[in-house]
Amino acid sequence: MSTVWGNKIKLTVFGESHSEAMGVVIDNLPAGVKLDMAEIEREMARRAPNGGEFSTPRKEGDKVEIVSGYFDDKTTGTPLCGIIRNTNTKSSDYAQLKSVFRPGHSDYGYYLKSGGNNDYRGGGHSSGRLTATLVFAGAICKQLLRQKGVEIGAHILSIKDIKDKPFGVEINPAELSALTYKPFPLIDESLFDKMRETILSAREEGDSVGGVIECAAVGLKGGVGEPFFDSIESHLASLLFSVPAVKGVQFGKGYDLTKMYGSEANDPFRYEGDKVITSTNNNGGILGGLSTGMPIVFNVAIKPTPSIFIQQNTIDVAAKENTVLSLKGRHDSCIVVRAVPVIEAVCAIALYDLL
Amino acid sequence: MSTVWGNKIKLTVFGESHSEAMGVVIDNLPAGVKLDMAEIEREMARRAPNGGEFSTPRKEGDKVEIVSGYFDDKTTGTPLCGIIRNTNTKSSDYAQLKSVFRPGHSDYGYYLKSGGNNDYRGGGHSSGRLTATLVFAGAICKQLLRQKGVEIGAHILSIKDIKDKPFGVEINPAELSALTYKPFPLIDESLFDKMRETILSAREEGDSVGGVIECAAVGLKGGVGEPFFDSIESHLASLLFSVPAVKGVQFGKGYDLTKMYGSEANDPFRYEGDKVITSTNNNGGILGGLSTGMPIVFNVAIKPTPSIFIQQNTIDVAAKENTVLSLKGRHDSCIVVRAVPVIEAVCAIALYDLL
Amino acid sequence: MSTVWGNKIKLTVFGESHSEAMGVVIDNLPAGVKLDMAEIEREMARRAPNGGEFSTPRKEGDKVEIVSGYFDDKTTGTPLCGIIRNTNTKSSDYAQLKSVFRPGHSDYGYYLKSGGNNDYRGGGHSSGRLTATLVFAGAICKQLLRQKGVEIGAHILSIKDIKDKPFGVEINPAELSALTYKPFPLIDESLFDKMRETILSAREEGDSVGGVIECAAVGLKGGVGEPFFDSIESHLASLLFSVPAVKGVQFGKGYDLTKMYGSEANDPFRYEGDKVITSTNNNGGILGGLSTGMPIVFNVAIKPTPSIFIQQNTIDVAAKENTVLSLKGRHDSCIVVRAVPVIEAVCAIALYDLL
Amino acid sequence: MSTVWGNKIKLTVFGESHSEAMGVVIDNLPAGVKLDMAEIEREMARRAPNGGEFSTPRKEGDKVEIVSGYFDDKTTGTPLCGIIRNTNTKSSDYAQLKSVFRPGHSDYGYYLKSGGNNDYRGGGHSSGRLTATLVFAGAICKQLLRQKGVEIGAHILSIKDIKDKPFGVEINPAELSALTYKPFPLIDESLFDKMRETILSAREEGDSVGGVIECAAVGLKGGVGEPFFDSIESHLASLLFSVPAVKGVQFGKGYDLTKMYGSEANDPFRYEGDKVITSTNNNGGILGGLSTGMPIVFNVAIKPTPSIFIQQNTIDVAAKENTVLSLKGRHDSCIVVRAVPVIEAVCAIALYDLL
């Protein structure tokens, strides 16, 4: 059941970085919904490598072909399958990785799990490339959520040790969705130059950096979510940790809550006219696993891309000996920028599934 | 599907804090396993309120009755159901909470979700009390994991801003399991007095504090886990965030990884004889969602107990007006100590389910 | 996942014939529903052994204790767990069955599956007794369906080779539900004496007989059901074949359809005012797995109870030799009558889950 | 979850008869398995329309493209996705069916379910054409089962009222698999001419006929299956009833068991050397939902193809009036022959999933 997810909808993800194609099947979508294809393409383009200065020189079209569940410009309510062909793959780059494993990468685990039968080219099934399927599914869920008044957006909360301002208690839906149009989404844009410099100088060294992405959803009504195993936090986290390089997730003030007194951490309820709000939102809009009606706010830790060009110590299982690896190929020196639409997509999928 | 979890096994959790009983059904356990009942009782006692200085004066026996799936002192392989009667419940304490919601608690969300039909007594289904069912299931999974050479243990990494030493790269199984015998598990025990003082002075004020729990599992072979939605991180996080008061989860160095260069974050592989190890374990024994054979290490943020005795602003939905709440009842001023066995249990369940 | 079932709701069944208790957890019920407890008891009594002439002399109270998910006389929307204690068990009757397997029974399969660790007393987990949990869940689903205008009822279509009249194209809801009040539900009641005689003479001989139960649901709107694996037929059949002794299921005219021409088998559509009906209902109200709005009609084959008192050839795995078995204990000579409410219950559960 | 199925493996089916493509994702296959592609093509060809005298003149290549989960001629253990392009579709044939529904077909149900947004061309998602995806998945499961000594085969038990001989108590694996090489599989081949004549004369009239398919699996060890909802019968039936036109399923002697005494129906156990067998196999190798080690035997009722060329009464929802339908297009007059490999495939999938 590893690659099937969801309750209300069902996502089935398939593909490898260098297989013929990758794709996703989305089951239980409502029938009769006209999809905004331009919007889907825009989301795909946000994640796709564009050869830009923060991206791998690889160009991946990430063109999605919808092969089922869509007829006469509307969803039919049957499984919608989107397929992305893997083009421009340079498998030769990866030949050495069959037995020499990249530190920080999944190669070794998959080698063990599959008894050496894994598709090691480009990380195979665990390649970041497969997040394209999540962005596609997320772009659809975003459109369905928008119809219910829910907007989703994210920004780069930090690159290495440079920190952007976090979201406030109140979040303006228009400003939130405006973030999705920025190539390098920041709340305090004055930080861009320093972040850019940090990334490029790392690239210079053949090294990489990571960062933190903060994501929010506004307009979600209260009482959404399920007890226990489908709490909003559980549901979101199970998807967020499916995204390669994510090593931490916190909701609201997260770890900072552990340094507060209960009297500081609790968010007092208040009537504002007929509307119930909380004057603070330390819990990120989630209490007991259910939404409170306040913005859903969480952030995720993205580790530095493990693919670096600096020589590293590792093993060669064919020779059964220690060795050194000098990585070839085309890799991002900072995946955080391209990960922003992925985190938004995952947020959209998880929330729509609970709605 | 909110309260059914798992692939290899299936957990079904039921009950409310003040309902007749709560319990858990564990499906797909192996047949013919003799359970160490004393060990199960020990785990239950670690979590149960004992009237001690860090615990609510409530005494909850948390005696588990196994009503099915166990015969002639062995598992039968059919669903094993454990039931815990709710005794010593003072529902009267909670009468006021039907319409006046506790800040930081699930009351409001459940009120909305159920259209006012929720069992508001003691937090109902979302009460921390239900974690007793997880401890029971976890105690069984711990025994099954031990047979496969896997040991699990946890310690209090911090209370408010007082920090214990984290686990090192190598973790001794005996020392790890020894932690489970400590009433207040710390690696650096000299910190106990300061932590104790912090908790008791908060209690003095009618306030509460939180902290961080670090958990580890050693002896897990490499290549365990599933791609995507059942990555070890996804699988663990989905359960960890089901535990009330958990607001953050990070694996290995987690958020600190975002401040490192890739060249620092990557864990180099090395042969030590025939054994493959990594000289560092920044990734917490998990790469690409699969185990590497190194210790699984993660920590969770536990927010301060929302139940405090200091007067708080909130709403009364019956009167449809703002009001103040002065909480009565019997509550912990720091749930972290009692949460330690819960986090271990959840770790045992998630890892066994993937094994 | 063997004992967890459903999409919209989740059923988790646990227990053995002679374990402390058996029960069922029903997840995802709507909140705020007042259950008619008298009606639930009536359904339980229909299935329970009553010591009557068609039933085992065993008396089983089958009193259900609801231990969660129900508060202030209403469902809370959290998992509702009903527990039935196993009283009046005469385990001694079954001692011989540990190694000597009853022909036609599950003993041998469970012995193999569990490596000899199965609870062999009274059929253990596969005992017909566990259908009490389905009747309880079904009684709840029946009440929820009735609120949506759906009525369910069944009759004995045959005992051995004595055949009752089948349902017609149109089925009156009142007459259908009236069947559930008959101790021996027949459409043509004149057949009772011959059926009774057949059952009692079999009992005389220490033998047993089976029969066919026909069940119908009226008032279900068209377009209900899911493609493929949750077609109404798939969904119903997966539950129906979970009922011990069911060896065949057919919808509408079932096997007789294979002897018709397409021009006879097809049910022509017709407007009757605004209402769409079919002039025949050979397909039992289901086309392409979805409901047509016509009555859902199906029947199930119930094999003769395997527990007979006539000496039978079998094996003794302890002695590793062929042997003969003379069964002791208290057994039904015809399970069909008591199975009627079980089939109705299963129908209610499956249809409610799809609605 | 309508189009996701399975426990050990996960099948996800997508596509419509006239959509760009249809396909299936098979998750949790073992890694390192070399597939016999010629064998897969042979199975696909058995089901595909071949323009032969029993088949629609439509020619469908049904060429499967494996786009993931297969590398270096071996399975990788990640989701294997097979895609079949829909070529040679004459959508124009179906224009009239948007509002005029074919009696005996799913058109009306899907129209209601999707609010008129269903892909009505060729039956859309509920087209028999989608069984090609099951045959592909089944062909893989058959190869995996063969490695475990399990052989599967089926024959035509009846066409209309002409009956072939049923399987005996003992079934020879070689003879069973030989059936899969026959274009018109019969045990008593002398019946071919009469059956052929029956089908062709129906076609002459623009009418259609149905029949019964009997399927068997030999070599399955005892004790396979799960209690309750994944009994072998439940598991098989849930898939069998997903196959269009299947209206009945019975195991072993099925409905005939209801006419026997328990003393006749029970299958006595016997040691034959060390091997445990039953002298009869009335229960089709399944007791209490688990295998006994005897051949698994069941049969399914296939209704006559609803697509006939005789004028039929139906409705036009656009005009909101009764009308008559004269069907155009290319249709089978007897689907039974092409359904044989589908039933075998479904048997292979269900048994492998439980193994």
CB A121 within 8 A of CB A94: yes
- The pLDDT value recorded for residue A96 is 80
Put residue C264 in one of left, alpha, beta given phi > 0 → left and psi -120 to 50 → alpha: alpha
Residue in C255, C286, C354 to test binding to D, most D beta-carbons within 10 Å: C255
Q: What is the DSSP letter of A239?
A: H
- Range A245-273 average pLDDT: 98
- Scored b (16 or more CB within 10 A) or e, C8-36 reads ebbbbbbbbbbbbbbbbbbbbbebebebe
| Residue A27 amino acid letter | D
pLDDT of C298-310, one tens digit each?
A: 999 999 999 999 9
Would you call D249 and C237 a contact, using CB atoms and an 8 Å cutoff?
yes
Higher pLDDT, C174 or C51: C174
Would you call A315 and B229 a contact, using CB atoms and an 8 Å cutoff?
no
Distance from CA of A105 to the nearest CA of D (A): 17
Query: For residue A125, which residues of chain B lie inside 8 Å, CB to CB?
Result: 227
- The pLDDT value recorded for residue A190 is 98
Which of D229, D247, D321 is nearest residue C2 as measured by Cβ atoms?
Answer: D229
Distance from CA of C14 to the nearest CA of D (A): 10
Would you call D126 and C288 a contact, using CB atoms and an 8 Å cutoff?
yes
Which of A244, A258, A279 is nearest residue B302 as measured by Cβ atoms?
Answer: A258
Query: For residue A119, which residues of chain D lie inside 8 Å, CB to CB?
Result: 71-72, 76, 78
Q: For the residues of A128-149, what is the DSSP string, one character each?
A: GGGHHHHHHHHHHHHHHHHTTT
Strands B269-272 and B275-278: antiparallel
CB B245 within 8 A of CB A246: no
Would you call B251 and A250 a contact, using CB atoms and an 8 Å cutoff?
no
Report the neighbours of D using a cutoff of 3 or more CB pairs below 8 angstroms. Answer: A, C
- The pLDDT value recorded for residue D168 is 97
What span, in angstroms and rounded, lies between the C-alpha atoms of C134 and C144? 15
> Is the Cα torsion angle B21, B25, B26, B30 positive or negative in sign?
positive
- The pLDDT value recorded for residue D263 is 97
Query: For residue C202, which residues of chain D lie inside 8 Å, CB to CB?
Result: 261-262
Distance from CA of A106 to the nearest CA of D (A): 14
Closest CA in chain A for residue B131: A228
Domains of chain D: 4-354 (3.60.150.10)
Would you call B83 and C79 a contact, using CB atoms and an 8 Å cutoff?
no
What span, in angstroms and rounded, lies between the C-alpha atoms of C29 and C27? 6
- Range D295-322 average pLDDT: 96
**Predicted confidence pLDDT, tens digits, chain B (355 residues):** 467 888 889 999 999 999 999 999 999 999 999 999 999 999 999 999 877 777 766 666 789 999 999 999 999 999 999 999 998 666 666 778 889 999 999 999 999 999 999 999 988 999 999 999 999 999 999 999 999 999 999 999 999 999 999 999 999 999 999 999 999 999 999 999 999 999 999 999 999 999 999 999 999 999 999 988 899 999 999 999 999 999 999 999 999 999 999 999 999 999 999 999 999 999 999 999 999 999 999 999 999 999 999 999 999 999 999 999 998 776 789 999 999 999 999 999 999 999 9
The pLDDT confidence band at residue D1, using thresholds 50, 70 and 90, is: very low
- The pLDDT value recorded for residue B52 is 73
- The pLDDT value recorded for residue D91 is 64
Q: Which two tokens stand for residue D60?
A: 């469908």
Question: Which range, of A327-331, C72-76, D171-175, D291-295, averages the lowest pLDDT?
Answer: A327-331
**Cross-strand bridge partners of residue C295:** none
Long-range contacts of B92-99 (CB under 8 A, 24+ apart): B93/B122, B93/B328, B93/B329, B93/B330, B94/B18, B94/B120, B94/B121, B94/B122, B94/B329, B96/B325, B96/B328, B97/B121, B98/B318, B99/B316, B99/B317, B99/B318, B99/B319
Report the neighbours of A using a cutoff of 3 or more CB pairs below 8 angstroms. Answer: B, D
Q: How far is CA D286 from CA B268, C106, C255, in A?
A: 53, 9, 21
Distance from CA of D225 to the nearest CA of A (A): 19
CB C229 within 8 A of CB D242: yes
Distance from CA of B113 to the nearest CA of C (A): 8
Report the neighbours of C using a cutoff of 3 or more CB pairs below 8 angstroms. Answer: B, D
Distance from CA of B125 to the nearest CA of C (A): 7
Average of per-residue pLDDT values in chain D: 94
Which of C263, C290, C305 is nearest residue D110 as measured by Cβ atoms?
Answer: C290
Would you call A212 and B248 a contact, using CB atoms and an 8 Å cutoff?
no
Q: First CA to last CA across chain C, in angstroms?
A: 23
Q: Is the pLDDT of residue A46 over 60?
A: yes
Q: What is the DSSP letter of D231?
A: -
Length of chain C measured in residues: 355
- The pLDDT value recorded for residue D281 is 98
Q: Which two tokens stand for residue C206?
A: 């220490």
- The pLDDT value recorded for residue C89 is 66
Contacts (Cβ under 8 Å, ≥6 apart) of C214: C154, C155, C157, C164, C166, C167, C297, C298, C299
Query: For residue A78, which residues of chain D lie inside 8 Å, CB to CB?
Result: 3, 14, 16, 118-119, 124-125
Q: Which two tokens stand for residue D79?
A: 């989701």
Q: Please choose, from the candidates D133, D28, D12, the residue with its C-alpha nearest in 3D space to the C-alpha of residue D353.
A: D28
Query: For residue B255, which residues of chain A lie inside 8 Å, CB to CB?
Result: 212, 247-248, 255, 301
pLDDT of A106-125, one tens digit each?
A: 999 999 999 999 999 988 99
pLDDT of D268-290, one tens digit each?
A: 999 999 999 999 999 999 999 99
Residue written as tokens 């099954």? B144
- The pLDDT value recorded for residue B1 is 43
- The pLDDT value recorded for residue C1 is 44
User: Phi/psi of residue A143, each to 5°?
Assistant: -65, -40
Closest CA in chain C for residue B28: C1
CB neighbourhood size of A112 (10 A): 20
- The beta-strand segments (E) located in B100-185 are 151-159, 162-163
Q: Which two tokens stand for residue B294?
A: 């190194």
Residue in D200, D204, D228 to test binding to C, most C beta-carbons within 10 Å: D228
- Range D213-220 average pLDDT: 98
Q: Which two tokens stand for residue A161?
A: 């040790």
Which of B11, B248, B257 is nearest residue A303 as measured by Cβ atoms?
Answer: B257
- The pLDDT value recorded for residue A319 is 94
Helix (H) or strand (E) segment spanning residue C275: strand C275-278
CB neighbourhood size of A279 (10 A): 12
Q: Is the pLDDT of residue D2 over 70?
A: no
- The beta-strand segments (E) located in chain D are 4-5, 10-14, 21-27, 64-68, 70-71, 74-75, 80-85, 151-159, 162-163, 211-218, 246-251, 269-272, 275-278, 286-287, 290-291, 296-302, 312-316, 321-325
**Cross-strand bridge partners of residue A218:** A151
User: Phi/psi of residue C36, each to 5°?
Assistant: -85, 95
Residue written as tokens 């070529």? D87
Residue written as tokens 């699969």? B290
What span, in angstroms and rounded, lies between the C-alpha atoms of D25 and A12? 8
- The pLDDT value recorded for residue A90 is 66
What span, in angstroms and rounded, lies between the C-alpha atoms of A82 and A79? 10
Query: For residue B121, which residues of chain C lie inside 8 Å, CB to CB?
Result: 71
Q: For the residues of D234-275, what is the DSSP string, one character each?
A: HHHHHHHTTSTTEEEEEETTGGGGGGSBHHHHS--EEEETTE
Helix (H) or strand (E) segment spanning residue C39: helix C37-47
Put residue D235 in one of left, alpha, beta given phi > 0 → left and psi -120 to 50 → alpha: alpha
| SS3 of residue D56 by DSSP | coil
| SS3 of residue A237 by DSSP | helix
What span, in angstroms and rounded, lies between the C-alpha atoms of A283 and A294? 9
The pLDDT confidence band at residue C57, using thresholds 50, 70 and 90, is: low
**pTM of the predicted model as reported, rounded to 2 decimal places:** 0.96
What span, in angstroms and rounded, lies between the C-alpha atoms of A274 and B321? 9
Contacts (Cβ under 8 Å, ≥6 apart) of C288: C227, C231, D105, D106, D107, D109, D110, D123, D126, D244
Closest CA in chain B for residue C34: B117
Q: Is the pLDDT of residue C26 over 70?
A: yes
Q: Please choose, from the candidates C178, D29, D4, B80, the residue with its C-alpha nearest in 3D space to the C-alpha of residue A24.
A: D4
**ipTM score for this prediction:** 0.96
- The pLDDT value recorded for residue B88 is 66
Question: Which range, of B197-201, C263-267, D324-328, averages the lowest pLDDT?
Answer: D324-328
- Range D35-59 average pLDDT: 85
Q: Please choose, from the candidates D302, D295, D289, the residue with its C-alpha nearest in 3D space to the C-alpha of residue D342.
A: D302
| Residue B120 amino acid letter | Y
CB B157 within 8 A of CB B214: yes
Strands D4-5 and D10-14: antiparallel
Would you call B14 and C80 a contact, using CB atoms and an 8 Å cutoff?
yes
What span, in angstroms and rounded, lies between the C-alpha atoms of B82 and B87? 16
Higher pLDDT, B297 or A329: B297
- The pLDDT value recorded for residue D90 is 66
User: Phi/psi of residue C231, each to 5°?
Assistant: -55, 155
What span, in angstroms and rounded, lies between the C-alpha atoms of A176 and A171? 7
pLDDT of C72-113, one tens digit each?
A: 999 999 999 999 999 866 666 677 888 999 999 999 999 999
- The pLDDT value recorded for residue B69 is 97
In percent, the amount of chain D with pLDDT more than 90 equals 87
Query: For residue D23, which residues of chain A lie inside 8 Å, CB to CB?
Result: 67-68, 81
Would you call C67 and B21 a contact, using CB atoms and an 8 Å cutoff?
yes
- Range C268-285 average pLDDT: 97
